[in-house]
Structure 1
């Protein structure tokens, strides 16, 4: 696998950054801070004025408080950089509607129902879609048992199995690292590199 080659003369015009930080609070709860910024490398006419190069077009933060069962207990958002001041930041407490959702149970669909379209901010709502896997990463090895040794003591496989192509229960990675949970392929396996090629 390789990236398409970068053009030697390419010029950066825009950068969107999404940063997700997850903090243990020490009281059994966790805080999730997700921040999105959009920055252009040129002066940019916007809403009757000019946004200078390097000055964020968007700068917004969403914070969740979650428990170890991935339930959202508190939620809110703030928009500090925006195209339309007084309008973009007028979503009020819309993101409090995330309270009561669970990051691991139909979260993405529930967010669209509660905050899709004109109910929220396009960018904040889109950013929520990366939060389940980010929090799972933070919980891995601390809240969630990801090791064969821990799962061996129970009848439940490590939570990450069968959630991606690399960790499918009939795959080589599971055979090597989680042998208790390995299940031989039921039929021919289609090669990832060549969908036309079937291996026995």
Structure 2
């Protein structure tokens, strides 16, 4: 369903962000983002002179290589287009994210390693979205492993642990009492 009619307006700024999750042959996963900013009008830039409408102001790439436990093995960033000549100097600092785990406290940890003058605002902002893509990319793989482990425990005569689902309470569909939640995790009815 589209949004309501906004009325007459003029486009000023375009930001396109592409996010992709990949499984690699070596068992690791790549989460990649490409950010592209453009203006819909000509303007003067201190470093680049006259910027024509549609010309990229920002054109940046970032890749997180992660394990299935969400630990970052490597991070690589690059900038094709920046408003200032010195901006690409921030890209190598993003390698400092190696060793972080995507999960609670991730954004804070990112800011500790590449916040402020150590990094780039645009690349830091897209990292939060990349964390979500990492969860979406790995969810079926991690869920399969949990099911296999539960089946192995049950086959050995044990009772698989019933951990509180990480998704519980994160949105309307996963409210503790929603029909989606209760159908997916029926054991929560008695918890």
Number of paired residues?
181
Structure 2 match to 1:192: none
Structure 1 match to 2:157: none
What does residue range 1-200 of structure 1 map to in structure 2 within 5 Å?
Answer: 3=3, 5-47=4-46, 49-85=49-85, 87-145=86-144, 153=151, 154=160, 155-182=162-189
Question: Does the 8 A contact of 1:171 with 1:182 survive in 2?
Answer: no
Question: Does the 8 A contact of 1:95 with 1:120 survive in 2?
Answer: yes
Q: Which runs of 5+ in 1 are unaligned?
A: 185-200
Question: Does the 8 A contact of 2:31 with 2:133 survive in 1?
Answer: no
Shift of 1:129: 1.4
Higher relative contact order (CA 8 A, sep 6+): 2
Shift of 1:130: 1.3
Q: Matched residues in 2 for 1:132 and 1:158: separation?
A: 18
Say which structure is richer in helix. Answer: 2
Q: Matched residues in 1 for 2:91 and 2:22: separation?
A: 25
Q: Matched residues in 2 for 1:58 and 1:183: separation?
A: 52
TM-score for both structures, normalised by structure 2:
0.83
Q: Matched residues in 2 for 1:47 and 1:143: separation?
A: 48
The two structures, once aligned, show a CA RMSD in angstroms of 2.6
Q: Matched residues in 2 for 1:55 and 1:178: separation?
A: 50
Residue by residue over 1:62-82, the C-alpha shift from the partner in whole angstroms, topping out at 9 and shown as x without a partner, is 111100000001111101111
Residue by residue over 1:83-120, the C-alpha shift from the partner in whole angstroms, topping out at 9 and shown as x without a partner, is 112x1111252001100100124211100111111111
Shift of 1:157: 4.8
Question: Does the 8 A contact of 1:146 with 1:160 survive in 2?
Answer: no
Residue by residue over 1:139-187, the C-alpha shift from the partner in whole angstroms, topping out at 9 and shown as x without a partner, is 122233499x779753235442233332022223212343222468xxx
Q: Matched residues in 2 for 1:151 and 1:15: separation?
A: 46
SS at match of 1:28: coil
